[in-house]
Structure 1
Amino acid sequence: MRSWSVSVLGKPLAPLVAAMLVAAGFTAAGAAGPATAAVPSTIPLTVTNNSGRGEPVYIYNLGTLLSTGQQGWADANGTFHPWPAGGNPPTPAPDASIAGPASGQSTTIRMPKFSGRVYFSYGQKLVFKLTTGGLVQPAVQNPSDPNRNILFNWSEYTLNDAGLWINSTQVDMVSAPYAVGVKTGSGATKSTGHLKPGGYNGIFTALKAKPGGWANLIQTRPDGTVLRALAPGHGIESGALARTVLDDYINRVWQKYSTSTLTVTPFADQPNTKYFGRVSGSTMNFTNSAGAVVTSFQKPDSDSVFGCYKLLDAPNDLVRGPISRTLCAGYNRSTLLVNPNQPDTGSGAFYQDAVTNQYAREIHARMADGKAYAFAFDDVGNHESLVNDGDPRQAYLTLDPFS
């Protein structure tokens, strides 16, 4: 599911994958949706710096050009530049940076029809390299990554003939705060990603107070400046968080559904499409309404839950993938024990168990609209920080204060 790079911080690039399915016209039944109004080849993206910080800002627009499938970068005018051939060991990538706005100012660039990311960094340019397989992106869970001590973040987006999908994401880390928005053809503006007042510092304060190693997700510069908190899957990868952190909850789920049934209704527009899960030994089997086994899952570990991959792999199909997405959301939100009918229709029961994804819990609690991409399938039930429109006229990226 890594859609356009050799090294992506996240495991499933869920927001973009979901957007691409929708953008391609696929519904739950797999049928193509109706055509929409033509979307221009580029649209403006206005980056506004409300951070209050004095360092220079650098912007990067990197991704896959959808018309050709080529990987590359776009300059400020939206002109596409393919990456040159890389090497082994990796060779430096061309400088794709665009000068960003000073604090209190705005800069407008053009977005081409990409599936990609808009990175922004404070104070230093990011380091990108190229291998023979493509672009190597920052992976700051690795202490030797050259971007480890740079303050940066990114938004994911897809712009194609069906419209614009743009998100604020914490799937890999929570760092420099920002929000995204889109102006629709009617002139209305939709936005998401803003934190509540005090929310940014509040996330780190809350993680520091959590027992069980959650404070170890926080990375600082040598001078003590807080840079980010890694998502828990990367915490496990780097040794900052115990691999067993969710085991107690997973074991209780396994026990419950060895004697009762978990019902998954993965498509909101198809309430009669249901799958029924039951544990037998080390396997949870899902049957359809006719009683036939359609897919099976082995008992997941914490990393599989946090990453929504490995033992909870979610292929882009119409059976296993949708069931796995629902399971992943239920495990991360710790709702599988309190509701045998998944997914949940509301958020009132989310993160209430003592064993839960504390990282996701603290991020959602501090979002102004309650929405975030704190794990890959946070879009189950529409709890994700994503805006989209089929007739986009303008996109926005707002760098928010560090408070």
Structure 2
Amino acid sequence: MLVRLTRPALSLAAATALVGALLALGAPDRAEAAVPDTIALTVTNNSGRADPVYLYDIGTQLSTGQQGWADANGTFHAWPAGGNPPTPAPDAAIPGPAAGQSKTIRIPKFSGRIYFSYGQKLVFKLTTGGLVQPAVQNPSDPNRDILFNWSEYTLNDGGLWLNSTQVDMFSVPYAVGVRRADGGVNTTGHLKPGGYNGVFDALRGQAGGWGGLIQTRSDGTVLRALSPGHGLESGALPASVMDDYVNRVWTKYATSTLTVTPFGDQPGTKFYGRVSGGVMNFTDGSGAVVTSFQKPDADSVFGCHKLLDAPNDAVRGPISRTLCAGFNRSTLLTNADQPDNNPAGFYQDGVTNHYARFIHGQMADGKAYAFAFDDVGNQESLVHDGGPQEAYLTLDPLS
């Protein structure tokens, strides 16, 4: 239900179009909506850092399709026209809370991101196609040496969806929360004590280039770990990093059947995968082929795109989501019925998404958005409520 951008340099427009379609499926009748035009977001700075914090609320109005930003009062401002080469965006920074303090702002109804940076403001630019967001997998990105992170959210008449995401990178830790209509609070995203350094230590200790995902500043400050998809782009991980596992999956299902039941509320809807001629064909209950997949490479697996593209439909998209989760969690060889929703069996193969493995292993509740479809089986770090009273973003210690 969220904007899930796996390439942050891209415009928000395409992702928002998909979000709008998804939300429309489950949104209540407008007359029944009780969500106000803005809700409070309280940001608490428990980081222990003395650096100034800057907040940004950037997104797209689902009602108009306009891209822009919101100020501290929740007022939406559309971006001006951009240029080629990109032109500087207006300064959308909101001063954040000092260490040990909290600050409450208002967030309006749109889908987008809440960025926060330590020490200095982020650099945003505008092209003729929209906003250019930080893309620190590019060593020349102006935000490369800034300590920052972001949360993704959608607020509309159906309620609030707010997540803690590591789809693009693992960086300064934070947790999200929502106060429900009944007064209770749901939270997720907190790391275990020592979990922040624990992720980096685990990556450094994992053979095969995984430590190369870590980016540091010239002063030695650890800034982030890039997602493995970005690690492929930078050359930190070899293109063949998932080949052995993918080849074993293709071999297994040349002589056996992979059963995919993609909808938890529709147990009778099943698709059956078999590899023939190097292609995995999926059939429905009548035996008709409904979609086919070429053998995916590591980039397709880590990004859940390209050869594992997931359109917003009722067949290929849901099957692809399931395959993506199975490849990243390495459950396709141990369970021929997918999705496998038992975390005890995730990441047990020697060839797996170790980045996702280490992040989930250090989360206090085990939940994370470590790859694009980590919500398969409800493993995502997401809070949602149909009548949100207040949202929360807690900046945690870097330890």
TM-score interval (norm. to shorter) = over 0.9
Q: Report SS of the residue matched to 1:96.
A: coil
> Aligned pair 1:89/2:120, yes or no?
no
Residue identity matched to 2:175: A
Q: Percent identity?
A: 74
Query: Whole-Å Cα distance in 2 between the matches of residues 325 and 196 of structure 1?
Result: 28
Match of 1:393 among 389, 394, 398: 389
- Structure 2 matches for 1:74-113, cutoff 5 A? 74-113=70-109
> Aligned pair 1:203/2:199, yes or no?
yes
Q: 1:391 to 1:50 in 2, by over 3 A?
A: same
1:299 matched to which residue of 2? 295
Match of 1:41 among 25, 37, 40: 37
1:151 matched to which residue of 2? 147
Query: Whole-Å Cα distance in 2 between the matches of residues 184 and 105 of structure 1?
Result: 23
> Aligned pair 1:23/2:23, yes or no?
yes
Query: Whole-Å Cα distance in 2 between the matches of residues 20 and 345 of structure 1?
Result: 27
1:338 matched to which residue of 2? 334
* Cα contact 2:261–2:269 (8 A) shared by 1: yes
Query: Whole-Å Cα distance in 2 between the matches of residues 379 and 13 of structure 1?
Result: 22
Residue identity matched to 1:360: A
Q: Report SS of the residue matched to 1:23.
A: helix
Q: Report SS of the residue matched to 2:103.
A: strand
State TM-score, norm by structure 2.
0.96
Per the TM alignment, residue 20 of structure 1 is displaced from its structure 2 partner at its CA by 4.8
> Aligned pair 1:327/2:323, yes or no?
yes
Q: Tell me the alpha carbon deviations over residues 22-46 of structure 1, each in whole angstroms, 9 at most, x when there is no partner.
A: 53234xxxxx767754210000000
1:29 matched to which residue of 2? none
Match of 1:140 among 119, 126, 136: 136
Q: Report SS of the residue matched to 2:344.
A: coil
Q: 1:152 to 1:395 in 2, by over 3 A?
A: same
Q: 1:7 to 1:211 in 2, by over 3 A?
A: closer
Q: 1:77 to 1:56 in 2, by over 3 A?
A: same
Per the TM alignment, residue 282 of structure 1 is displaced from its structure 2 partner at its CA by 2.1
Query: Whole-Å Cα distance in 2 between the matches of residues 335 and 274 of structure 1?
Result: 18
Match of 1:57 among 44, 53, 56: 53
Query: Whole-Å Cα distance in 2 between the matches of residues 86 and 33 of structure 1?
Result: 36
Aligned residues: 398
1:366 matched to which residue of 2? 362
Q: 1:165 to 1:286 in 2, by over 3 A?
A: same
Residue identity matched to 1:328: C
1:379 matched to which residue of 2? 375
Query: Whole-Å Cα distance in 2 between the matches of residues 134 and 6 of structure 1?
Result: 17
Segment drifting more, 87-96 vs 35-44: 35-44
* Cα contact 1:13–1:376 (8 A) shared by 2: no
> Aligned pair 1:271/2:267, yes or no?
yes
Query: Whole-Å Cα distance in 2 between the matches of residues 352 and 9 of structure 1?
Result: 33
Match of 1:170 among 157, 166, 170: 166
Query: Whole-Å Cα distance in 2 between the matches of residues 372 and 385 of structure 1?
Result: 4
* Cα contact 2:4–2:152 (8 A) shared by 1: no
Per the TM alignment, residue 267 of structure 1 is displaced from its structure 2 partner at its CA by 0.1
Task: Write out the 4+ residue segments of structure 1 that deviate beyond 2 Å after TM superposition.
Answer: 1-7, 9-23, 32-37
* Cα contact 1:2–1:13 (8 A) shared by 2: no
Query: Whole-Å Cα distance in 2 between the matches of residues 187 and 268 of structure 1?
Result: 29
Q: Tell me the alpha carbon deviations over residues 274-302 of structure 1, each in whole angstroms, 9 at most, x when there is no partner.
A: 00000012210000000000000100000
Q: Tell me the alpha carbon deviations over residues 59-108 of structure 1, each in whole angstroms, 9 at most, x when there is no partner.
A: 00000012211000000000010000000000000000000000000011
Query: Whole-Å Cα distance in 1 between the matches of residues 22 and 2 of structure 2?
Result: 17
* Cα contact 1:12–1:308 (8 A) shared by 2: no
Q: Report SS of the residue matched to 1:286.
A: strand
Query: Whole-Å Cα distance in 1 between the matches of residues 4 and 199 of structure 2?
Result: 30
Q: 1:10 to 1:131 in 2, by over 3 A?
A: closer
> Aligned pair 1:181/2:177, yes or no?
yes
Q: Tell me the alpha carbon deviations over residues 104-143 of structure 1, each in whole angstroms, 9 at most, x when there is no partner.
A: 0001110000100000000010000000000000000000
Query: Whole-Å Cα distance in 1 between the matches of residues 172 and 2 of structure 2?
Result: 23
Q: Report SS of the residue matched to 1:365.
A: helix
Query: Whole-Å Cα distance in 1 between the matches of residues 328 and 374 of structure 2?
Result: 9
Query: Whole-Å Cα distance in 2 between the matches of residues 135 and 129 of structure 1?
Result: 6
Unaligned runs of 5+ in 1: 27-31
Per the TM alignment, residue 239 of structure 1 is displaced from its structure 2 partner at its CA by 1.2
* Cα contact 2:41–2:107 (8 A) shared by 1: yes
* Cα contact 1:169–1:373 (8 A) shared by 2: yes
* Cα contact 1:176–1:402 (8 A) shared by 2: yes
* Cα contact 1:15–1:167 (8 A) shared by 2: no
Per the TM alignment, residue 15 of structure 1 is displaced from its structure 2 partner at its CA by 10
Per the TM alignment, residue 345 of structure 1 is displaced from its structure 2 partner at its CA by 2.6
* Cα contact 1:10–1:172 (8 A) shared by 2: no
Q: Report SS of the residue matched to 2:373.
A: coil
